[in-house]
């Protein structure tokens, strides 16, 4: 029936098969012992079965390759491969056969044919074969459009098309989170930590071959996904670096602004581009996929007009003993400021020195270091609060609370111990 | 196209760590209506809270509509698809059509060449980002696109349902109609493959859903109990008088009793059976005592007589002293039957031995009362296909053994098994068990167990498993409980098996019983049972190492016997470990599976090469090519150490081929397979795999020619379902005449294969 139909319509038949990777045949070992009723029969049957492993028949995973059984799923970033076969079903020679394969996505149309030249003659029972590959870069409906044009022996020009529709799915879910480590103490860099959660939302295990952060020009990146002091390159995820369906994995990166950007703290502010994640994974027999995220952006910590950071502060101080800290005040605004410093005591923190003193003019991007002395009247972890800066030009006051913490201990009890 | 950013940190509460919260959602233009409905309502409050901490980065397609003029409206294409596909019948179309699900589209794939455009877009988004701080909250709460995976599952299942009308009520010959279930995507024999192989399920939504619910697949295979059960006694009168059957059944069991030197009388069906078997059996039992010749049909006698004789000879061969033979046999019995019952069962057995307890008063809930749960397994899928495609005359030529055409005995059973007529063999086990009083409808009725009856059950369950009739196997396995009832131990029958100890249930049956749940989507249960087996094996090995008998009793064993016993139990332990590893592989717990396979090497050092290669292939399946290569290197080292064995060379080359394949280098892979063939030209795996590689290289005709040639030249090796599946797939790809070519294959199969052949790999229906 099929043949007749094809003949009525066309001399050529077009067949398409998606070439996902072949799969390894698995067999089902059912064994018995010599003393059992079947004796050696079951084992013999298994030995004779070509799909079992010689000498280890109980091993399920065989070596026999089987072709893909159905279209399967295709995910963004994977390569769509397909066999296109045009077969001359007729008994006559067909001329000038041109096979064209296009992929229509929701936004564009791509030509995937290896060659665009026509085959001059196709004998009966002969095929034109083409294997096309395309790295899928869009999600959603794709249509493979195969067009065949040819000339019959009577000079009749014929043409037909076939459409194969498939859906490209999303393989991964990526979520990110930024942590701003204010490295005020060293005063060198403003490190940013990026945590990326990558979830496998396909239905098969995924081997993560590479998950790297390509930083933007402003940053250098350190990957924190190997065990420090472990064997070289030992992953924090253990030896088996694969993600089961719905599994999520956290990757951590440390980004440091390059010196030229770090020195001018004012430069990195507002929304900055951090970089993008480059993810390469593999599935069955090395089926490969690759994705990049869009540029990851973060809002640099809102320092406002004036940034107050600490350059020096002790970890531990004695109760009721004065200690020194050094504050760094940076003008992050676009205008010159005239600053006045006010120090307000809290329940536990008492500032030493004169409150309300003038710090003078500070031009945009400039900073000044400010040594201050204070003491704590309460033991325990204490938060340093109560600094107020007032820009006398605009009469605007900036409040700085919870700037840092110190541990306040009683020197007498420690002596006793 | 939205992009939102918001800072969630209070400027006044500034600690050393800032938490910025972003949610970027690109590609809004591809959002389909379905997608909204697929958002998870199930997101719990906690999740929402947690999610607020994370930024959802959508990887979305870039707005690269540069070729606008060539872009046809999608709608017109869809119309086109419908028209065209009505006319064309390529199976690929259908499959691809059915793949179309509802999937969301917020992913961006930044095309390298479109970077410049991307940066422009970024600026635009940045401004948007600031404008839209409010909306951001919404996007964080319902992370879009997360719901795709369930969605895929659904579509996969629908697909399976849509194409295979398995849920329809199955007509009369119930089990067998399974062979005919036509449109299943998965050919019969491939079902286990699908369940097991991570790759199959990954390849397809259908496979994926099957992996999750294999029970659904097999569900319709369950046999409806049919009332025609005692068919044997009624219908087959002329062909096979019932007396033949009983004689043949009891005679071989007579022989088996010889192997038990302690048994005074041939056990046959034990006394209890007499209660519920027809009168005739009584006479046949007695006839078996006085050896064949009683009321026997002469034909039956001819069939059965030589058999016990031969086997008797076999039993006594090699020793002139029957007493010594008997001793060594009891040694063998003890070794093989040893088992450690649960404490409760052990108490019952002790009280039986000390005659404080009479088996006849046993509580029925502690007894094993099996019975056939279905009948009429007979059938032949190949013949049915022949009837359908080649017509009746051709189908009539098909000759396979049936349960009727062989001796109604163990010998006949073995013939059926070795000729791969497993359906008929299952039938025969049914008849033999019916004769033993454990026939259809007898489940739940008191019965007794003999070595033979349990062997029959084992064979039956094993064959059902081999035939992928897991549900049936489970159904019939159920009355056996956990195989620890007191009546499953020899000690329970002191008069029938005086002095004999241990489990009447063969070890192989325990293993099968443990493995069974894994094929029914209950791998955890299988694993539990396998762990129990492992524990007993280890305990027995410990007993032996301590100088005790297997069951811990103080019997002195000769050094030689102890060693034999240790070897036996070690090999049993390693077999259990294999099953555990296989089960873990099915569960896709690759870490544990690899660990377990690796631990088998210590028990089976001669299988090191195969095991390491197998582990390497597991890594290839996951996609971890580098680790796989490391294992393959270990294989090469192991091969060098053991010197050159032909099997090892093959193995090394084969591994190389798989690595090339995983690197997408089909040319190289083909070359490696070809090299295997230089060493071992008949290697079926290398031949098949080389042909598969050719297809990926675009050489369909060559590949086809090669496979076709193999099947013609050496059907014994190549009429294998995997090869035939590949071949029929290529036929479908090659031409519109695939049906004719498949029919030719069917004819080839019909000449050689038994009724257990998985005809679905021919993809004729």
3-state SS of B411-460 is HHHHHHHHCCCHHHHHHHHHHHHHHCCCCECCCCCCCCCCHHHHHHHHHH
Residue of B1, B6, B18, B608 to mutate, interface with A, max A Cβ within 10 Å = B18
- Read off the tokens for A406: 């110190």
Report yes or no: B198 at the A interface, CB cutoff 8 Å.
yes
Q: How far is B277 from chain A (nearest CA, A)?
A: 23
Minimum CA–CA partner of A52 in chain B: B685
Average pLDDT for chain B: 67
Cβ atoms B204, A73 nearer than 8 A: yes
Look at residue B618 in the predicted model and tell me its pLDDT: 95
Length of chain A: 417
Where does B271-342 have alpha helices with state H?
A: 271-275, 279-289, 298-304, 306-316, 322-337
Q: How confident is the model at residue A196 (pLDDT cuts 50, 70, 90)?
A: very high
Look at residue B357 in the predicted model and tell me its pLDDT: 63
Whether the predicted pLDDT of A151 surpasses 80: yes
Contacts of B647 in chain A (CB under 8 A): 54-55
Q: How far is B276 from chain A (nearest CA, A)?
A: 25
Question: Which stretch of A355-359, B253-257, B347-351 has the lowest confidence by average pLDDT?
Answer: B253-257
Q: What percent of chain A has pLDDT over 70?
A: 89
Where does A15-64 have alpha helices with state H?
A: 41-48
Q: How confident is the model at residue A264 (pLDDT cuts 50, 70, 90)?
A: low
The beta-carbon neighbor of A17 closest among B87, B607, B733 is B733
| A71 to B99: CB separation less than 8 angstroms, yes or no | yes
Q: Which of B375, B357, B356, B376 is nearest to B367 (CA)?
A: B357
The string of pLDDT tens digits covering residues A40-68 is 899 999 998 999 998 899 999 999 999 99
Question: Which stretch of B103-117, B169-183, B637-651 has the lowest confidence by average pLDDT?
Answer: B169-183
The beta-carbon neighbor of A127 closest among B107, B696, B734 is B734
Bridge partners for A97 per DSSP: A119
Look at residue A134 and give its three-state secondary structure: strand
Look at residue B157 and give its three-state secondary structure: helix
Q: What is the mean pLDDT of residues B388-408?
A: 87
CB atoms within 10 A of CB B622: 29
Contacts of A296 in chain B (CB under 8 A): 57
Three-class SS string for B475-521? Answer: HHHHHHCCCCCHHHEHHHCCCCCCCCCCECCCHHHHHHHHHHHHHHC
Cα–Cα distance measured from residue B477 to residue B443, given in angstroms and rounded to the nearest whole number = 11
Report yes or no: B94 at the A interface, CB cutoff 8 Å.
no
Q: What is the mean pLDDT of residues B600-614?
A: 93
Contacting B residues, span 141-170, partner chain A, CB-CB under 8 Å? 143, 145-146, 148-149, 152-153, 156
Q: What CATH code would you report for A306-409?
A: 2.60.40.10
Minimum CA–CA partner of B73 in chain A: A106
Average pLDDT for chain A: 86
Whether the predicted pLDDT of B92 surpasses 50: no
CB atoms within 10 A of CB B526: 24
The string of pLDDT tens digits covering residues B180-208 is 333 333 333 332 222 222 333 333 333 33
Q: How far is A415 from chain B (nearest CA, A)?
A: 32
Contacts of B94 in chain A (CB under 8 A): none
Q: How confident is the model at residue B280 (pLDDT cuts 50, 70, 90)?
A: very low
To the question of pTM greater than 0.90 for the whole model, the response is no
Bridge partners for A375 per DSSP: A350
Q: How confident is the model at residue B659 (pLDDT cuts 50, 70, 90)?
A: very high
The string of pLDDT tens digits covering residues A335-378 is 888 999 999 998 899 999 888 889 888 888 888 889 999 999 99
The beta-carbon neighbor of A41 closest among B417, B647, B689 is B417
Look at residue B365 in the predicted model and tell me its pLDDT: 67
Cα angle for residues A164, A169, A172 (degrees, 5° grid): 155
Q: What CATH code would you report for A172-297?
A: 2.60.40.1230
The string of pLDDT tens digits covering residues A204-225 is 999 999 999 999 888 889 888 8
Residue with more model confidence, A9 or A118: A118
| Domain range summary for chain A, segments of one domain joined by + | 12-21+68-169, 172-297, 306-409
ipTM of the complex: 0.78
Contacts of A76 in chain B (CB under 8 A): 59, 61, 107, 109
The beta-carbon neighbor of A167 closest among B16, B18, B99 is B99
Whether the predicted pLDDT of B226 surpasses 50: no
Q: How far is B582 from chain A (nearest CA, A)?
A: 6
The string of pLDDT tens digits covering residues B72-85 is 434 444 443 433 43
CB atoms within 10 A of CB B268: 27
* Strand segments (E) across B182-332: none
Q: Under CATH, domain A12-21+68-169 is a member of which superfamily?
A: Immunoglobulins (2.60.40.10)
Q: How far is A416 from chain B (nearest CA, A)?
A: 34
* CA B122 to mean position of chain CA atoms: 53
Whether the predicted pLDDT of A194 surpasses 60: yes
The string of pLDDT tens digits covering residues B426-470 is 999 999 999 999 988 888 888 889 999 999 999 999 999 999 999
Cα–Cα distance measured from residue A255 to residue B213, given in angstroms and rounded to the nearest whole number = 46
Q: What is the mean pLDDT of residues B408-428?
A: 92
Q: What is the mean pLDDT of residues B125-130?
A: 39
The beta-carbon neighbor of A284 closest among B18, B581, B623 is B623
Minimum CA–CA partner of A209 in chain B: B624
Report yes or no: B128 at the A interface, CB cutoff 8 Å.
no
- Read off the tokens for B356: 């404080």
Look at residue B359 in the predicted model and tell me its pLDDT: 55
Whether the predicted pLDDT of B259 surpasses 50: no
Q: What is the mean pLDDT of residues A263-275?
A: 66
Whether the predicted pLDDT of B732 surpasses 70: yes
Cα angle for residues A400, A401, A404 (degrees, 5° grid): 105
Cα–Cα distance measured from residue B664 to residue A79, given in angstroms and rounded to the nearest whole number = 11
Question: Which stretch of A178-182, B297-301, B655-659 has the lowest confidence by average pLDDT?
Answer: B297-301
Q: What percent of chain A has pLDDT over 90?
A: 50
Cβ atoms B443, B369 nearer than 8 A: yes
Look at residue B652 in the predicted model and tell me its pLDDT: 93
| A23 to B107: CB separation less than 8 angstroms, yes or no | no
- Read off the tokens for A178: 């930024």
């Amino acid at each position: 029936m099929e043949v007749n139909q094809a003949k009525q319509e066309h001399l050529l038949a077009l067949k398409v098969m998606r070439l996902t990777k072949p799969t390894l045949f698995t067999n089902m070992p059912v064994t018995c012992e010599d003393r059992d009723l079947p004796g050696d029969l079951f084992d013999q049957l298994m030995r004779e079965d070509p799909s079992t492993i010689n000498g280890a028949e109980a091993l399920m995973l065989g070596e026999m390759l089987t072709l893909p059984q159905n279209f399967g799923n295709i995910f963004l970033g994977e390569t769509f491969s397909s066999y296109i076969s045009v077969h001359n079903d007729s008994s006559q020679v067909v001329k000038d056969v041109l096979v064209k394969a296009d992929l229509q996505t929701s936004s564009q149309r791509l030509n995937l044919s290896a060659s665009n030249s026509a085959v001059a003659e196709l004998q009966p029972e002969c095929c034109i074969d083409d294997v096309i590959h395309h790295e899928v870069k869009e999600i959603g409906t794709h249509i493979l459009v195969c067009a065949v044009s040819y000339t019959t022996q009577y000079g009749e020009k014929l043409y037909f098309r076939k459409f194969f529709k498939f859906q490209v799915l999303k393989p991964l879910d990526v979520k990110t989170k930024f942590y701003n480590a204010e490295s005020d103490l060293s005063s060198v860099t403003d490190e940013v930590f990026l945590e990326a959660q990558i979830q496998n939302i396909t239905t098969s295990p995924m081997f993560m071959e590479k998950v790297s952060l390509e930083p933007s020009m402003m940053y250098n990146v350190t990957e924190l996904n190997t065990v420090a002091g472990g064997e070289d390159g030992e992953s924090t995820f253990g030896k088996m670096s694969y993600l089961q369906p719905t599994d999520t994995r956290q990757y951590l990166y440390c980004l440091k602004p390059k010196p030229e950007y770090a020195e001018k703290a004012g430069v990195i502010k507002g929304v900055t581009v951090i970089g993008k994640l480059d993810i390469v994974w593999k599935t069955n027999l090395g089926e490969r996929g690759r994705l990049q995220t869009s540029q990851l952006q973060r809002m640099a910590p809102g320092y406002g007009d004036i940034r107050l950071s600490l350059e020096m502060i002790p970890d531990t101080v004695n109760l009721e003993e004065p200690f020194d800290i050094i504050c760094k005040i940076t003008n992050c605004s676009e205008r010159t400021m005239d600053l006045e410093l006010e120090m307000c005591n809290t329940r536990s923190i008492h500032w030493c020195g004169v409150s309300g003193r003038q710090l003078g003019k500070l031009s945009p991007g400039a900073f000044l270091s400010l040594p201050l002395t204070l003491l704590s009247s309460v033991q325990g972890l204490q938060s340093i609060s109560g600094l107020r800066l007032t820009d006398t030009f605009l009469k605007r006051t900036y409040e700085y609370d919870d700037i840092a913490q110190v541990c306040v201990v009683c020197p007498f009890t420690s002596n006793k111990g | 196209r939205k992009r939102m950013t918001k800072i969630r940190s209070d400027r006044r509460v500034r600690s050393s760590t800032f938490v910025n919260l972003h949610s970027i959602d690109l590609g809004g233009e591809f959002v389909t209506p379905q997608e909204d409905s697929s958002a998870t309502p199930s997101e719990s409050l906690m999740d929402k809270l947690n999610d607020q901490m994370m930024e959802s980065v959508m990887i979305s397609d870039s707005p690269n509509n540069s070729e606008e003029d060539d872009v046809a409206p999608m709608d017109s294409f869809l119309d086109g698809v419908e028209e065209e596909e009505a006319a064309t019948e390529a199976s690929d179309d259908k499959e691809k059509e059915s793949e179309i699900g509802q999937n969301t589209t917020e992913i961006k794939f930044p095309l390298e060449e479109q970077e410049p455009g991307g940066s422009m877009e970024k600026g635009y988004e940045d401004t948007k980002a600031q404008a839209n701080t409010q909306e951001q909250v919404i996007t964080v709460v319902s992370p879009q696109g997360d719901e795709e995976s369930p969605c895929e599952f659904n579509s996969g299942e629908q697909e399976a349902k849509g194409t295979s009308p398995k849920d329809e009520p199955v007509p009369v010959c119930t089990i067998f109609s399974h062979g005919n279930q036509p449109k299943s995507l998965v050919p019969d024999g491939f079902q286990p493959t699908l369940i097991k192989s991570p790759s199959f399920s990954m390849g397809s939504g259908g496979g994926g859903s099957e992996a999750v619910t294999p029970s659904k697949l097999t569900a319709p295979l369950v046999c409806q109990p049919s009332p025609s059960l005692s068919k044997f006694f009624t219908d087959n009168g002329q062909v096979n008088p019932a007396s033949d059957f009983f004689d043949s059944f009891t005679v071989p069991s007579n022989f088996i009793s010889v192997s038990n030197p302690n048994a005074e009388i041939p056990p046959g069906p034990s006394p209890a059976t007499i209660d519920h078997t027809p009168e005739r059996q009584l006479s046949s039992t007695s006839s078996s005592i006085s050896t064949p010749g009683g009321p026997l049909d002469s034909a039956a006698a001819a069939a059965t007589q030589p058999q016990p004789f031969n086997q008797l000879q076999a039993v006594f061969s090699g020793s002139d002293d029957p007493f010594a033979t008997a001793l060594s046999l009891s040694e063998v019995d003890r070794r093989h039957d040893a088992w450690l019952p649960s404490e409760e069962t052990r108490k019952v057995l002790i009280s039986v031995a000390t005659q404080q307890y009479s088996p006849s008063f046993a509580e029925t809930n502690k007894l094993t009362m099996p019975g056939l749960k279905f009948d009429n397994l007979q059938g032949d899928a190949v013949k049915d296909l022949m009837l359908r495609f080649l017509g009746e005359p051709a189908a009539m030529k098909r000759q396979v053994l049936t349960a009727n055409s062989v001796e109604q005995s163990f010998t006949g059973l073995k013939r059926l098994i070795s000729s791969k007529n497993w359906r008929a063999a299952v039938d025969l086990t049914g008849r033999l068990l019916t004769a033993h009083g454990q026939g259809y409808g007898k489940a739940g009725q008191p019965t007794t167990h003999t070595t033979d009856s349990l062997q029959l059950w084992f064979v039956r369950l094993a064959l059902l498993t081999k035939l992928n009739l897991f549900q049936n196997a489970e159904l019939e396995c159920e009355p056996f409980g956990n195989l620890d009832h007191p009546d499953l131990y020899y000690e329970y029958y002191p008069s029938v098996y005086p002095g004999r100890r241990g489990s009447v249930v063969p070890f192989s049956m325990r293993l099968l019983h443990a493995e069974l749940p894994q094929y029914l989507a209950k791998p955890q249960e299988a694993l539990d049972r396998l762990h129990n087996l492992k524990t007993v094996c280890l305990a027995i090995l410990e007993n032996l190492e301590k100088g005790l008998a297997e069951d811990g009793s103080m019997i002195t064993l000769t050094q030689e016997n102890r060693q034999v016993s240790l070897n036996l139990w070690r090999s049993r332990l390693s077999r259990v470990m294999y099953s555990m590893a296989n089960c873990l592989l099915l569960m896709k717990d690759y870490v544990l599976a690899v660990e377990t396979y690796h631990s088998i090497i210590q028990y089976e050092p001669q299988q090191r090469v195969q095991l390491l290669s197998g582990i390497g292939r597991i890594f290839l399946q996951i996609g971890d090519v580098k680790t796989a290569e490391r294992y393959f290197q270990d294989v090469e080292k192991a091969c060098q150490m053991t010197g050159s064995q032909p099997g090892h060379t093959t193995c090394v080359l084969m591994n190389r081929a798989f690595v090339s394949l995983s690197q997408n280098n089909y040319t190289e892979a083909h070359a490696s397979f070809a090299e295997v063939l230089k060493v071992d030209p008949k290697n079926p795996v290398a031949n098949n795999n080389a042909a598969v590689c050719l297809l990926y290289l675009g050489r369909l005709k060559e590949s086809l020619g090669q496979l076709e040639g193999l099947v013609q030249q050496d059907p014994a090796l190549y009429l294998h379902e995997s090869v035939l599946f590949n071949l029929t797939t290529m036929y479908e790809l090659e031409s519109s005449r695939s049906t004719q070519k498949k029919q030719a294959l069917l004819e080839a199969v019909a000449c050689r294969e038994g009724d257990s052949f998985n005809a679905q790999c021919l993809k004729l229906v």
